[in-house]
Amino acid sequence: MEINLISDTVTKPTQEMLRAMFQAPVGDDVYKQDPTVNELERKVAALFGKEAALFFPSGTMANQTAIKLHTQPGDQLICDKYAHVFNYEAGGVAFNSGVSCALIDGDCGKIRADQVQAAITDPEFYHSPLTSLVCVENTTNKGGGACYELTELAAIANVCRQNQLKFHLDGARIWNALVAKQQQPLSFGAYFDTISVCFSKGLGAPIGSALVGDAALIHKALRIRKVLGGGMRQAGYLAAAAIYALDNHVGRLAEDHRRAKELGAILSQMSWVARVEPVETNIVIFSLQPGLNEAALIQRLKERKIYISSMGNNKLRMVTHLDYKEVMHDYVLESISRIGARVG
């Protein structure tokens, strides 16, 4: 039994999801003739109270399209220093849009309205890049799965409106936030110009994200997706998996959150752990005591067929997900408890 806690992207479709995929009616989505893709786009747009949505092969492409929609070359976007759009999208902000990032030192990947206000450049000071966009991530990946309060998002949205800035949500794990905070997607739709959502992480679909916004923006996004090579043909097979995931896999995210919190609790009891970041959803980030070897811990867990990932600087990450079952969880908890006082 191998237990992969490297990411929630490692899941395989369930038998029920595969059945939905095989039975999906399909067409050519490049011509907007795939009925299942069209159904998914309508469904996601309605969830967030937006006019339209567009299906993408990846969350990175959806985010990069949103940034391209909202900026001009030479502009600047504001985001947290841990933001996915800055750290994990291969410099696409610069490559695709010619945009720089003003990085904020937030709390677990979350930024505040006053920090956003302070980072905005004077639009009359032409020596500085023009601030045109604010990007936030919910839940935060590198921030340990932390969730925003709606009150803070409302405050940031107000700053954006007052300064004529666009507001984009990287909602790759928005489903986890909705479950953990008992929030509604319509609330998020009211604050953001665009939102990207992912189906291939906690929801367990094999591929796919969507971008939601008003109809005019999404029409422009269709061209940008084409430029980036994201046009797909009979994509309804993939969209069917996303529809199934939305209908069946959102509520169960609470199980992932419980298991992640239990992992965090036992790690906090280990003498070789210096700190466990607060666990809100399905991501557990912890640091080893100074002088201990993260590669040695990874190897010791690997010998027990447990796989986790390194984030560098003696930080490690575990991510719970659909394919991480209770019997696996019990085994991981026992394995962690059996690791000796020293690592490496």
Residues of the chain with pLDDT under 70: 340-344
Q: Exposure string (b/e) for 236-248, b if CB count within 10 Å is 16 or more?
A: bbbbbbbbbbbee
Cβ proximity of 316 and 288 under 8 Å: yes
**d(C-alpha 316, C-alpha 306), whole Å:** 13
Predicted pLDDT at 191: 98
Predicted pLDDT at 343: 65
334 to 75, 300, 304: CA distances (angstroms): 51, 13, 11
Predicted pLDDT at 341: 57
Predicted pLDDT at 239: 98
pTM value is 0.96
Cβ proximity of 109 and 137 under 8 Å: yes
Predicted pLDDT at 1: 85
User: Taking the CB of residue 307, how many other CB atoms lie within 10 A of it?
Assistant: 16
Predicted pLDDT at 83: 98
Predicted pLDDT at 188: 98
**d(C-alpha 87, C-alpha 249), whole Å:** 28
Where do the structural domains in the chain lie, given as residue ranges? 15-248, 252-338
What is the number of H-type helices and E-type strands within the chain? 14, 13
Say what angle helices 174-181 and 253-267 make with each other, to 10 degrees.
80
Beta-strand pair 194-198/209-213: antiparallel
Going by C-beta distance under 8 Å and a sequence separation of 6 or more, which residues neighbour residue 260?
145, 279, 281, 282, 283, 284, 318, 319, 320
Going by C-beta distance under 8 Å and a sequence separation of 6 or more, which residues neighbour residue 255?
none
The three-class DSSP label of residue 61 is: helix
Whether the bond between 121 and the residue before it is cis, its omega within 30 degrees of 0, is no
Predicted pLDDT at 312: 87
Predicted pLDDT at 313: 86
Find the DSSP H helices in the chain: 15-22, 35-47, 59-70, 84-87, 92-97, 113-119, 150-162, 174-181, 185-191, 215-227, 236-248, 253-267, 294-303, 326-338
What's the burial of 51, exposed, middle or buried (CB within 10 Å: 0-12/13-18/19+)?
A: middle
Q: What is the identity of the amino acid at 313?
A: N
CATH for 252-338 is 3.90.1150.10
User: Taking the CB of residue 312, how many other CB atoms lie within 10 A of it?
Assistant: 7
Q: What are phi and psi of 275, to 5 degrees?
A: -160, 140
pLDDT digits (tens, 9 = 90+) for 236-285: 999 999 999 999 999 999 999 999 999 999 999 999 999 999 999 999 99
Owner of token pair 């909602």: 171
**d(C-alpha 85, C-alpha 94), whole Å:** 10
**d(C-alpha 177, C-alpha 180), whole Å:** 5
Q: Exposure string (b/e) for 275-291, b if CB count within 10 Å is 16 or more?
A: ebbebbbbbbbbbbeee
Q: Exposure string (b/e) for 57-66, b if CB count within 10 Å is 16 or more?
A: bbbbbbbbbb
Cβ proximity of 6 and 319 under 8 Å: yes
CATH class held by domain 15-248: alpha beta
